A and B are shown apart, each in its own frame.
Chain A
Amino acid sequence: MAERNPLDIEEVKQRARKREPVIPMEQVPDAVRAIRCDIIEMIAKAQSGHPGGSLSLAEILVTIFSQKMRFDPSNPEWEDRDRLILSKGHGVPALYATLSWLGAIPREELWTLRQAGSRLQGHPARALLPVVEASTGSLGQGLSIAVGMALAGRLDHKDYHVFCVLGDGEIQEGQVWEAAMAAPKWKLSNLTAILDYNKGQLDGFVRDIMDIESAAAKWRAFNWHVIEVDGHDPTAIAAAVDDAKTVTDRPTMIVAHTVKGKGVSFMENDMSWHGKAPNEEQTKAALAELGC
């Protein structure tokens, strides 16, 4: 597996506990590239998984975790931590790789993805791995849990922030809109959702399967503060989170336009890479292109 210059975890911890950037913004693209390398290697080793929707997520997760999250990699139960729920649970290789980079999962454990007995289940399993905030994978459920976490923060007068990452195909699920209706009722400005709008789902392009357009207008109509960004631009993602935190009377939805399979040209916008592992030759090509 590719060697990697690891972060100083003590330093990460000290900064992240204060919600300070754990690396300078200009280093985020490099970190993203390394996460993409891990995603390919994990899925290749497991010979199963979802590369397309994991690769599209990399900038979103790395930017939020490295720049905007308050957390403690050694204490996933810390009451004051910011929370991030990956509602599109099939993108979890990107989350495992990011958490491992930040010292919350041992690096060698990444290569156990999807194996019998591993804590790194094919979709996140909180009971096995508490650093993931919720077991997800049945699409449509994560935002409701995020609403509950944000409500609990309100009740306890805590200033933690709750993030929830949804897939674009995922918002075809009705439960998402139940949660979309609920969050503004309590003016949950401590909740920010991010839509990984990679335009694809298992059976094809979202626009052909069940179009979600106009996604931004839909969320606005549900009384969310909506920001549209290029989901592969870390600076724009970070700015959108800052913007979200200035809003005090409603939750925010960041519609992040992304490319499914981003970074590996033969996977980009090819829906056959939604849920299949690369073979040996394809793995080599992908890793070479990513510069792993």
Chain B
Amino acid sequence: MSSAAQTTNGMAIVPEQKFSMRGAYGKALVELGKTHPELVVLDADLSSSTKSGLFGKEFPDRFFQMGIAESNMIGTAVGLASSGKKPFLHSFACFVVGRFEVIKLAVAYNESNVAITGTHVGVGIGEDGYSQMGTEDLGMMRALPNVICLQPADDVEARSAAEFLMDYEGPSYMRITRQNVYRVHDENYRFELGRGEVLRSGTDLTLVASGAPVGYSLLAAERLSGLGISVEVINMASIRPLDGELIAESARKTGAVMTVEDHSVRGGLGSAVCEELAERYPVPVMRTGLREFGGSGTEADNYRIHKLDVDGITDNARSFLEVIRNKA
């Protein structure tokens, strides 16, 4: 795999180079803090991991260390928001969404202007194992009536999404990775709510990906192209609202859609895409991602095991197209 995968906007993935999503996010909070006095940041004893601690160093008066008490952190953020602050609260996705019912009532039902950031998502976190992995968080958060759900693909998008959330009024959830990821956007990219993004055009298969797997999906598309399969790659950073129109449009062209995410195949991007296609333009869909508990291992091992790396995505895409061909 020597050739870089080219996106339609000219951005090329450099396979040897990965960038920190949470680092970019943490720096974005610091920048936003300089211009937005209403921005306050909360963390539950993970600020050096979530990178919210960067804000804490710069603005100690607007940083609240809540201790290992996520439920109270969520409620405190709601109280701050009700008095005009814009709280960004942080923990691992697993732990914060684990306090789901507090989010449901205090954040969602109050229509509270709180931004929830869950880091360390998926099996990509590696060695710490399943108890630390956010693997069902989107399924839960997406079920709430008025919470927007974001999942950036790289550091550029994480920064842009943080800027977007600063100005957004209402409850939000964003999940970001522990591990460094491929960069698929140039510096001028701006996140847009409810908009998917065609990173590469193709005619045989649509890959809808979100989060860390987006880079791998682009590289897989490049490899599949060498095998005579033309793949369209869509980055879906806005999981809710979801750009169903774009997905349906692509499905009309390719007739087959495969989703790729480092999250359970139940309830996350795969489910959301199926819901949209079922109502708009039903075509065969293959959901790829986590089908069982994750476990300890290197990020590379975990992505190989769960078929989220270039080999895995390529393999899944080929078998999917074969199944469709055999049925036809």
Q: Do the beta carbons of B82 and A148 come within 8 Å of each other?
A: yes
* Contact bitstring A136-165, B, C-beta under 8 A = 1, else 0: 111011111111111111011000000000
Q: Which of B32-69 contact A (CB under 8 A)?
A: 40, 61-62, 64, 66-67, 69
Q: Which of A135, A150, A152, A156 contacts B106 (CB 8 A)?
A: A135
For chain B, the bracket of interface size reads 20 to 34
Is the pair B72, A144 in contact by a Cβ cutoff of 8 Å?
yes
Instruction: Answer whether residue B74 sits at the interface, using C-beta atoms and an 8 A cutoff.
Output: yes
Inter-chain residue pair count (beta carbon < 8 A)? 107
Whether A182 contacts B79 in the complex (CB less than 8 A), given A134-B106, A155-B62, A156-B84, comes out as no
Q: A147 to B105, Cβ gap below 8 A?
A: no
- Kindly list chain A residues whose C-beta atoms are within 8 Å of the C-beta of B64: 151
Q: Which residues of chain A come closer than 8 Å to B78, judged between CB atoms?
A: 134, 144-145, 148
Q: Is A127 an interface residue (CB 8 A)?
A: yes
Given A125-B109, A135-B105, A136-B105, check contact A147 B61 (CB 8 Å): no
User: Cα distance A133–B208 when bound, in Å?
Assistant: 42
In B276-302, which residues have CB < 8 Å from any A CB? none
A289 touches B (CB below 8 Å) = no
Which residue on A lies nearest to B87, using beta carbons?
A: A148
Q: Does B80 contact A (CB under 8 A)?
A: yes
Cα(A126)–Cα(B67), bound, Å: 28
Whether B72 and A182, one on each chain, are in contact in the complex, defined by CB atoms closer than 8 angstroms, is yes
Task: Please tell me if the beta carbons of B67 and A148 are within 8 angstroms of each other in the complex.
Answer: no
- Chain B positions 2 through 34: 1 when the CB is less than 8 Å from some CB of chain A, otherwise 0: 000000000000000000000000000000000
Report Cα–Cα, A126/B102, bound state, in Å.
Answer: 15
B188 adjacent to chain A (CB < 8 Å)? no
Is B241 part of the contact surface with A, judged by Cβ < 8 Å? no
User: With A136-B105, A144-B72, A181-B67 known to touch, is A155 a contact of B40 (CB < 8 Å)?
Assistant: yes
Contact across chains for A182 and B76 when beta carbons are under 8 A apart: yes
The smallest C-beta distance from A222 to any residue of chain B, in angstroms, reads 13
Q: Is the CB of B82 within 8 A of A144?
A: no
Interface of B is mostly: helix
Would B79 and A149 count as touching, CB distance under 8 A?
A: yes
Name A149's closest neighbour in chain B (CB-CB).
B79
CA distance A42 to B104 in the complex (A): 28
Closest-CB distance, B203 to chain A (whole angstroms): 46
B101 partner residues in chain A, CB cutoff 8 A: 138
Task: Please provide the chain B residues from 65 to 117 with a CB less than 8 Å away from any CB of chain A in the complex.
Answer: 66-67, 69, 71-85, 87, 101-102, 104-106, 109-111
Q: Which B residues contact A (CB, under 8 angstroms)?
A: 40, 61-62, 64, 66-67, 69, 71-85, 87, 101-102, 104-106, 109-111
Q: Can you identify 22 A-B contacts, CB atoms within 8 angstroms? A: A127-B109, A127-B110, A127-B111, A134-B82, A135-B110, A136-B105, A138-B104, A138-B105, A147-B72, A148-B75, A148-B76, A148-B77, A148-B83, A149-B83, A152-B84, A156-B83, A174-B71, A175-B69, A178-B71, A181-B67, A182-B72, A182-B76
Known: A145-B78, A148-B76, A182-B66. 14 other contacts (CB 8 A): A135-B105, A138-B101, A138-B102, A144-B72, A144-B76, A145-B79, A145-B82, A148-B82, A149-B82, A151-B64, A152-B82, A155-B62, A175-B102, A178-B69
